[in-house]
Each structure stands twice: as structure tokens, then as C-alpha cells.
Copies of this chain bind each other. A is one copy, B any other.
Amino acid sequence: MSAAPLAVVLVSGGLDSMVAAGHAREAGFDILALSVDYNQRHQVELAAARRIARALEAERHVVLPLDLSAFGGSALTADIDVPKGGVGDDIPVTYVPARNTIFLSLALGWAEAAGARDLFIGVNALDYSGYPDCRPEFVAAFEGLAELATKAGVEGQPFKIHAPLQHMTKADIAREAARLGLDAGMSWSCYDPAPGGKHCGLCDSCRLRAKGFEEAGLPDPTVYATRP
């Protein structure tokens, strides 16, 4: 056992969760990295999650199988095309119903079992796809729920949900990766991977990623099939 306090960090394999994990380490936590194999179209992100957990010397990395395609309802878990026309104003079909609620619940379960009181999630609500469960009010409500839901909370040891990227743009996040010495090339963002292990370049997630590096004036290590 390590002497540092533990934090459960949701590590999808994307740029945002990589930076959130970097913040957890910078804050002095040892990392329990949690990834979910939810039968997502871009399962390749789990290889990125493994690279990130290793680079951040996670105490443990659990890749939990949970087949959300049993429910469907999203372009990431059902046979629905991933939109490629650019980031719009509406919540897009890549939204996975209740995904962050499910993921934070799992992180909460692990945290309580492991004696951790801190959870990290890499949501941000500026350069994002408009998913409701990325907004600050969602994160705050989950923290309140966690206190009521758990033995630890009831016994006066509530959980803190850290969302350190909450008010950052994608450019800020790209800069943070560089500042923390994390190679952004480890991470994976694309929803609809192109042949040859390339990012498609056209889905919302690719467009936001490319825009972030460009606006930050930083080199983008990503190989895109089509330049966004």
C-alpha cells in the first residue's frame, strides 16, 4: 500500500481524462484508474486508457466490462452513424444515455470500497458536444447524491467530485497536457476510428481535439485520416 491518499479517476483514454488524471497526481493522489468497456464503437480508446494509466503509475487500473449496447440509444453503442458535419447546437446522437451517471456511480462504488474520498472526472462544458452530464450542475448534484447514497457519506466522510477541466477550453486542456508533461499522443479521442489506427478527423470529438491544439498553438500529435 502506498502512503498517499487514493483517488478514483475515470480514464476513458481521451485527452480530457488524461489531463484530469494528471491533475489528480499533481494534487498528490495515488490513482485508481477506472475505464469502462461498454462495447463502444471506439473501443480502441481502452488501449489509450492503458497507456495513460501506466504513464501516471496508477496504483491499479480496472477496465470494467459493462455492455451498454444492451440498451442502445446512441451512435456509440448502436448501429447509428456518427455525425461528421461539425459540432452543432443540439445534443447529438453520440450522447450515451446516462453514461456519466453510470460511470460516476461505478467510481463511487470503488472509491468507497477502497477507502478513497476523491473522484476525478475530465468533463468540461465549453468546447464539448453539449452532453447534459458534462455540466457543472450535474457534477454538483452527483456530489450531493453521493453523500446520501453511501455509508461513508452518512457517517460524515463525504466524497469530493473533482472536475478540474470544468471551465477550460480545449486549448486550455492541450496546454495543461503540455504543462503536466503528458504526451497527448497517448490519448485517443475519435468516435469512429479510421483504418490504420487513425483518427477520422471529422467527428465532433476529432474536430474539438484538433481545434484545441490549433488554438493553443501547440503541435497536434494526432494522425487524422481527413484533416479537420
- A98 contact from B66, B67, B109, Cβ within 8 A: B109
Given A65-B65, A132-B149: A72 in contact with B102 (beta carbons within 8 A): no
Known contacts A98-B150, A108-B101, A154-B132; is A66 also within 8 Å of B68 by CB? no
Q: Is the C-beta of A180 less than 8 angstroms from some C-beta in chain B?
A: no
A97 (CB) vs chain B CBs: closest residue = B112
Q: Which of A109, A111, A146 has the most CB of B within 10 A?
A: A109
Q: Is A164 an interface residue (CB 8 A)?
A: no
Q: Do the beta carbons of B74 and A149 come within 8 Å of each other? A: no
B109 touches A71 (CB 8 A): yes
Surface stretch bound by B, among A40-48, A134-142, A193-201, A207-215: A134-142
Q: With A145-B142, A149-B98 in contact, do A68 and B109 touch (Cβ < 8 Å)? A: yes
Residue count of chain A within 8 Å CB distance of chain B: 45
B132 x A71 contact (CB < 8 A): no
Given A97-B150, A133-B150, A149-B100, also A141-B138 (CB < 8 A): no
Please pick, from B106, B132, B133, B150, the residue contacting A132 in the complex, using a CB distance under 8 A.
B150
Most buried by B among A67, A112, A151: A151
> Is A166 located at the chain interface by the 8 A CB criterion?
no
CB within 8 A of A114: which of B68, B71, B106, B109? Answer: B71
A54 in contact (CB, < 8 A)? no
- Contacting residues of chain A (42-92) with chain B, CB-CB under 8 angstroms: 62, 64-68, 70-74, 91
CB of B109 within 8 A of CB of A102, answer: yes
Having A71-B110, A97-B108, one finds 16 other A-B pairs with CB under 8 Å, namely: A62-B70, A62-B71, A66-B66, A72-B113, A73-B112, A74-B113, A96-B109, A97-B110, A97-B150, A98-B105, A100-B149, A101-B105, A105-B105, A132-B148, A141-B144, A145-B145
Provide 7 A-B residue pairs closer than 8 Å at the C-beta atoms, listed in order of the A residue.
A64-B67, A65-B67, A70-B110, A71-B109, A98-B109, A132-B149, A142-B149
